[in-house]
Amino acid sequence: MYQIKQYKDNHFDIYELLDSGSNSWLKVAPERGGIIIGFGVQGEEILFLNKETFYDPEANVRGGNPILFPISGQLENGEYEWDGTTYKMRNHGVARNHPWEVVETNVKDEASITIRLKSTQEMKHSYPFGFEVIYTYVLRKNSFTIYQEYKNLSDKDMPIYPGFHPYFRTAQKNISYETDAKNYLDYNDMKIKEVSQGLDLTNKIESLVLLDAKQKKISFELPEIKKKIHMTYGEEFKYVYLWTEKNQEFICVEPWMAMTNELNRKEELVFVKPNESIKTELTISAE
């Protein structure tokens, strides 16, 4: 019932997790930042992917489910100060721009792949901490789960606020979301608004961010493919960002542990103690 195929796509190794019982798949490119580039259910692809950006090693991939670590979002002027030193870091951190190592695969009772990213001296120019991040992607029927472990290999507390950036395939920008959040921040005019008024991304350049959801879940329908998406995630994820690009057939629904520029604000940082780790998870399903 479960299997894993391995093949090349434009020189990148792809691991495709398959569940024949539900005709579902999960495609992972470990060396391209550990990214998921495809998720299908009942023969229907759920995620958007711009293949040109995937093939270009210098580009940030537009599509799939990019990994955001150690930060989510941007830093003001692309930099932050830590312990008296100023560091520069690209949007969404370092993880998506480095190859991940495949640790193991499994096809017993599920299809799964475990990948790992370890800090390097090059990364420490942007982020001065030793770390090891381990993800296990698990495909079961119509859903996949990302089990995450963030290890601090440094001798001081390590600040993180990871997240995810899934691109869902739809041309519709005005979608109804099932969430218990009451308010959101509209980054287009920096005003706080009520979710009950709708979350229309049409003609929005910047993100909308749900501020006060208590339940760690959100659901919405992709009208063209007639699939309802359910996302559940760990308590560590405080916010969900909603974003799109004009004339592009996707919406992004992104769980983040803190808001953008948090390494400069330093109000909601998540700290991992030396030689300890934080574990959490994210599940996305389609029905």
Distances (CA, A) of 177 to 68, 258, 282: 23, 21, 18
User: Does residue 31 contact residue 12 with C-beta atoms inside 8 Å?
Assistant: yes
- No. of H helices and E strands in the chain? 3, 25
- The CATH number of the domain holding residue 88 is 2.70.98.10
pLDDT of residue 63: 98
Burial of 184 (0-12, 13-18, 19+ CB in 10 A): buried
pLDDT of residue 25: 98
The tens-digit pLDDT sequence of the chain (287 residues) is: 999 999 999 999 999 999 999 999 999 999 999 999 999 999 999 999 999 999 998 899 999 999 999 999 999 999 999 999 999 999 999 999 999 999 999 999 999 999 999 999 999 999 999 999 999 999 999 999 999 999 999 999 999 999 999 999 999 999 999 999 999 999 999 999 999 999 999 999 999 999 999 999 999 999 999 999 999 999 999 999 999 999 999 999 999 999 999 999 999 999 999 999 999 999 999 99
Using a cut of 0.85, tell me whether the model's pTM lies above it. yes
CA dihedral angle for residue 260, residue 264, residue 269, residue 273, rounded to 10 degrees: 140
Domain limits for position 114: 2-286
Q: Is 199 helix (H, G, I), strand (E, B) or coil?
A: coil
Count up the domains in the chain and report the number.
Answer: 1
Distances (CA, A) of 18 to 107, 109, 204, 237: 9, 12, 36, 28
